[in-house]
């Protein structure tokens, strides 16, 4: 438990919230700072393990990435794809104007 100092402050919480497009009420932020720091401290215990000569493990099952043949097997389900859209028009999703 060497790494006791807090990493997450109010600026970090604001930044993460903005990146995730989350609108966090001001009075929730103090608790979030505490929670996030606790999580990071917990995970920081892993730093005690010597891993400098160990390759990252991608899978514990030993499976290889499956590949598929290049064939058209899907699509033409625009009704299904658009089913949950808050707004649509002649086959398009419709969203508030996003232009630079």
Partner 1 sequence: MNQVSSNNSKKLKPGQIQGDTGLWEMVIGLEIHAQISSKSKLFSGASATFGAGANTNVSLVDAAMPGMLPVINQYCVEQAVKTGLALNAQINNYSVFDRKNYFYADLPQGYQISQFTKPIVGEGEIIIDLDEGKQTTIGIERLHLEQDAGKSLHDQHPTKTYIDLNRTGVALMEIVSKPDIRSPQEAGLFVKKIRSILRYVGSCDGNMEEGSLRADCNVSVRRAGEEFGTRCEIKNLNSIRFINQAIQSEAERQVEILESGGSINQETRLFDTSTGETRSMRSKEDAHDYRYFPDPDLLPLEFEDSWVKGLKESLPELPDTLRERLVLDYGITPYDAAVLVEEKDYVKFYEKAALGRDGKLTANWMISELFGALKKENLSLLNSPVSPESLGELITLITDGVISGKIAKDIFAEMMISKKKPIEIVKDKGLEQVSDDNEILKLIESVIADNQDKVKQYLSGKDKLFGFFVGQVMKVSQGKANPGIVNKLLKENLK
Contacts with partner 1, residue ranges (CB under 8 A): 15, 18-19, 21, 58-59, 63-78, 80-82, 87, 89-100
Closer CB to partner 1, residue 4 or residue 96?
A: 96
CA distance 18 to 96: 19
Q: Least distance to partner 1 from the beta carbon of 2, Å?
A: 25
What are the φ/ψ torsions at residue 83 (nearest 5 degrees)?
-55, -40
**Nearest approach, Cβ of residue 4 and partner 1 (Å):** 26
* C-beta of 23 vs 31, nearer to partner 1: 23
Which of 25, 84, 40, 72 lies closest to 17 in space, CA to CA? 25
Element (H, E) at 79: helix 78-82
- Minimum Å gap between C-beta 91 and partner 1 is 4
């Amino acid at each position: 438990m060497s790494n006791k100092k807090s990493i997450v402050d109010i600026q970090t919480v604001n930044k993460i919230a903005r990146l995730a497009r989350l609108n966090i009420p001001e009075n929730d932020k103090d608790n979030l700072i505490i929670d996030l720091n606790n999580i990071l401290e917990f995970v920081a215990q892993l730093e005690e393990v010597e891993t400098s000569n160990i390759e990252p493990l991608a899978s514990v099952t030993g499976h290889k990435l499956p590949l598929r043949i290049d064939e058209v097997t899907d699509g033409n389900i625009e009704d299904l794809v658009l089913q949950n859209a808050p707004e649509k028009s002649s086959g398009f999703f419709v969203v508030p104007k996003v232009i630079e």
